[in-house]
Homo-oligomer: A and B are copies of this chain.
Amino acid sequence: MPFTSSAETSPQTVNRLSLYLRCLRQLRELHIQKVSSQELARRFDLSATQIRKDLAQFGEFGIRGVGYDVAQLIDHLRSLLGLDRRHKVVIVGIGNLGLALAQYPGFNSTSFQVVAGVDIDHDKVGRKAGAFTIQHAEELAAVVRSSGAEIGVLTVPEAAAQENYDGLVQAGVRAVLNFTRARIRTVPEVPLKEVDLRIYLEETAFFLRR
């Protein structure tokens, strides 16, 4: 049972698993087949202890003295993160950001597909965005049901974020990605992931210090 789900897995651990996956994909592109936790840590400036601890939560992946098989660990992490099947996504709020995400390659890949989008603006209803036709926000519950969307993406104005999270919960999505700055009161059954694009500028600003 290598893939036991743990209720205790924290968002930071998930964040790191996703990071390890990206690092391993880079190694695969370099045709590197085996990697130790020390080597992985050294190359990507991570903690070898943390890598071993994070991975050990989900079973034994590495072989002592040999390390991890890169391709195998990629598969394990994909499975662990639930990326071995395609998740359907609904976008709530088809402004510039909503439109951009509807067409964003990473949101329309082997693991994800934006299947629907809603907006309160009647003028937008019926227009194409990415692979779907925009529907009215009042139809959200029916849209989620008929599209099978599991993940909701909030790209509404900040003031409308809470009611639309609540609407997504009632409509039956299982997780929500919040691109607004709103602090949303959540229910435990529908976890919310915050997206703050400012962090990319913050990390860039560091390089301007010289």
Contacts and interface: CB of A to CB of B under 8 A. Distances in A.
A177 interface: yes
A37 interface: no
Contacts of A13: 45
A210 to B, nearest CB: 6
Contacts of A174: 207-208
Interface string A65-82: 000000000000000111
Nearest to A81: B206
B111 A209 contact: no
Contacts of A101: 197
A206 B83 CA distance: 8
A106 B181 CA distance: 9
A146 interface: no
Given A82-B206, A106-B196, A210-B5, A201 B96 contact: no
Interface residues of A, number: 63
Contact of A198 (B15, B109, B176): B109
What 3 pairs across the A-B complex have the smallest Cβ distances?
A106-B198, A97-B100, A96-B100
Given A15-B203, A18-B202, A175-B208, 15 more contacts: A9-B206, A11-B45, A12-B46, A17-B206, A47-B47, A96-B100, A96-B103, A97-B97, A104-B197, A105-B181, A151-B205, A151-B208, A175-B204, A175-B207, A193-B200
12 contacts: A9-B206, A11-B203, A12-B45, A15-B203, A18-B199, A81-B203, A96-B96, A106-B201, A111-B202, A112-B198, A175-B208, A191-B204
